[in-house]
Amino acid sequence: MDKKALSRQVLLFTLINYTGTAIGVISTLFIYPNNKSFLGTVRYVDNVAQLLYPVMVLGASQSLIKFYPALDESHRKKLFNYSLLSIMLMSLAVLLAIPLFVWGSGFDNAHILYLAFPAAVSLAFIELFKRQAQDMQEIAVPTLYEKLIPKIILPILFLLVLNHILQVYVSLYFYVISYLLMFALTAIYLFKRFKPGLNYKFKSLFYQIPHKDYLRYSLYAFAGSFGSLLAFRIDGIIIPELISVEANGSYNIGSTLASTLQIPAVGMFAIYAPLVSGYLKNNNIQELHIKYKEVARLLFFIGAVLYSCILLGVDDLFSLLPTSKSLEASLPVILILGFSVLVNMATGFNSEIITYSGYYRFNLVAVLLLTVINVSLNLWFIHYTNLGITGVAYASFLAMAIFNVAKLWFIYKKFKILPFDMDFFKLVAIFFISGVMIFFLPDTGSHLIDLIYKTGLSIAVNVFITYRFRLVYQVNVWIDKALRYTQIK
């Protein structure tokens, strides 16, 4: 795919994500605070599904990206079919394991597991289909289904529950059905463009890729992705178990709003993953380093613009809302997790570099470190402080910071590259100084005016300085295009 088409896919991906996020933010601010207990239950099901589906995938989706560049078209189709069969068999194994786990552990919330299972199966196949679409650089439409369908269906179900039209558990069944709908639509879209056939004879495939290498990579990829999800999703299981379902709802409101910052990163990482794999396969470290720094600067700029708006305006925004009282508990979570997302964006696609290099085993070490630190900190903050969900947010931030430092250190040790340069540090200084100065500007006495003038001033100052000193290449491209379009008009 040429650079123009690649940029178009990134733009479409980002626009779709922001559309879904806009719907989610409106729901989070105006609908979900009215029943945080129901929200906590929904997110409990979500988090369990997110932990089950990597077991079903077992690294097959990452292997599809890893080995795809080395294969011809016929063997690429065989690799996809092998991955499809693997997910089917692992899904069956998980289904058989669930009653054994419930019986052996005495797990009190068995109904959560059974609700989460069909959602997890859907996510497993969607993950594979998205990776295939990613290899074809056709990620926008699958993202449309994934990001918009749940964002539309969940607030509708919420309103039906709030108005006593649906019972809670009936609405949960409908929510699970939305995952099945996503699975069906993604499959239809992919198979219209990709015809893998029904060839399930894989002997020639594993002449091209040694089966031992495939299995080894898949297991390491699984361990890394599962550990990563466990580390990042554990708070959504610990909170309802050790604090309350309502607290889980408050935490989810904060994490949902904070996660809006990472949308551009998700899109760029998805699109650039095959390119990173290709650079590493061809040992083109110089070009990889250029892209590494370029993407890190761009993502930090976007994330810092958004985080500055949150930091400067979220108090005033919440004060204007009818649900302001219900949102108070989520405020520190937004600020802490938002900063954590910003740190993650600033380090660029370090996970992708490790995943698609010959050093992918390090991901397992890093994720195990992250999991142990995150779980330990979560338990410490809950049991030994009175911070509640704010302590859980601090635990997630500290674990994420250590995780990123470990990955940066490893990449520098192996490849002698870092995502930082002098322009990056200039950006950090600009955002820090402008943020402090605008934060201490006098209030007008009107929450609406303060919200508009402080966030507007922050955006204007940071964008102008970044553009004027050409610190982020893509920002100058976008603004120059906009200026030319204005002059033509």
Q: How far apart are CA 224 and CA 362, in angstroms?
A: 9
Can you tell me the distance from the alpha carbon of 422 to that of 427, in angstroms, rounded to the nearest whole number? 9
Please state, in angstroms and rounded to a whole number, the distance separating the CA atoms of residues 91 and 97: 10
What is the spatial distance between Cα 381 and Cα 393, in angstroms, rounded to a whole number?
A: 9
The pair of structure tokens assigned to 287 is 């070009």
The range of the structural domain enclosing residue 206 comes to 1-220
Among 348, 346, 482, 349, which Cα is nearest to 427's?
346
Amino acid 89 reads L
Using an 8 Å Cβ cutoff, are 137 and 271 in contact?
yes
Is 211 found in the same domain as 285? no
Tell me the longest C-alpha to C-alpha distance in the chain: 73
Low-confidence ranges of the chain (pLDDT < 70): 1-14, 137, 224, 227-232, 266-267, 270, 487-489
Name the residue type at position 236: G
92 within domain boundaries: yes
Same domain as 325, residue 254: yes
* Rounded distance between C-alpha atoms, residue 10 and residue 274, angstroms: 13
**CB of 63 closer than 8 Å to CB of 83:** yes
| CA atoms of 122 and 53, how far apart (whole Å) | 8
Q: Do 165 and 289 fall within a single domain? A: no
User: Is 305 in the same domain as 379?
Assistant: yes
213 and 241 within one domain: no
Domain boundary among 170, 194, 220: 220
Give the chain's domain count: 2
Instruction: Give 73's contacts (C-beta < 8 A, 6+ positions apart).
Output: none
Q: What's the token pair of residue 299?
A: 């993502």
Per-residue model confidence (pLDDT) at position 419:
93
* pLDDT attached to residue 105: 72
Tell whether 303 and 451 lie within a shared domain: yes
* Chain position carrying tokens 């993407």: 295
The 3-state DSSP composition of the chain as helix, strand, coil percent (nearest 5) reads 85, 0, 15
Report if residue 229 sits inside a domain: no
Asked if residue 48 belongs to a domain, the reply is yes
Q: Is the same domain home to 188 and 276?
A: no
Specify if 110 maps to a domain: yes
* Judgement on whether residues 166 and 287 belong to the same structural domain of the protein: no
Domain boundary residue among 220, 254, 274?
220
Burial class (CB in 10 A: 0-12, 13-18, 19+), 443: exposed
Report whether 49 contacts 207 (CB < 8 A): no
- Residue 354 resides in a domain: yes
Same-domain pairing of 61 and 180: yes
User: pTM for this one?
Assistant: 0.75
DSSP string, 344-375: HHHT-SHHHHHHTSTTTHHHHHHHHHHHHHHH
pLDDT of residue 142: 82
- Cβ distance 308 to 451 under 8 Å? no
Same domain, 112 and 58: yes
Nearest CA to 168 out of 356, 300, 320, 42 is that of 42
Q: Is the dihedral of CA 68, 71, 74, 79 positive or negative?
A: negative
From the CB of residue 424, how many other CB atoms can be counted at a distance below 10 Å?
A: 20
Is 227 part of a structural domain of the chain?
no
Domain boundary, last residue among 220, 250, 271: 220
The confidence score (pLDDT) of residue 175 equals 92
Residue 226 lies in a domain: no
Cα separation of 271 and 65, whole Å? 11
Residue 164 sits in the same domain as residue 16: yes
Residue 432 lies in a domain: yes
**Alpha-carbon span 172 to 418, nearest angstrom:** 45
CA 56 – CA 79 distance, rounded (Å) = 17
Question: Token pair for residue 481?
Answer: 């295009």
User: In this predicted structure, what is the pLDDT of residue 436?
Assistant: 94
If asked whether residues 204 and 245 sit together in one domain, one would say no
Phi, psi of 163 (to 5 degrees): -95, 10
Task: For residues 51 and 43, give the distance between their C-alpha atoms in angstroms, rounded to a whole number.
Answer: 12
C-beta separation of 174 from 134 below 8 A: no
Interatomic CA distance for residues 264 and 150, integer angstroms: 19
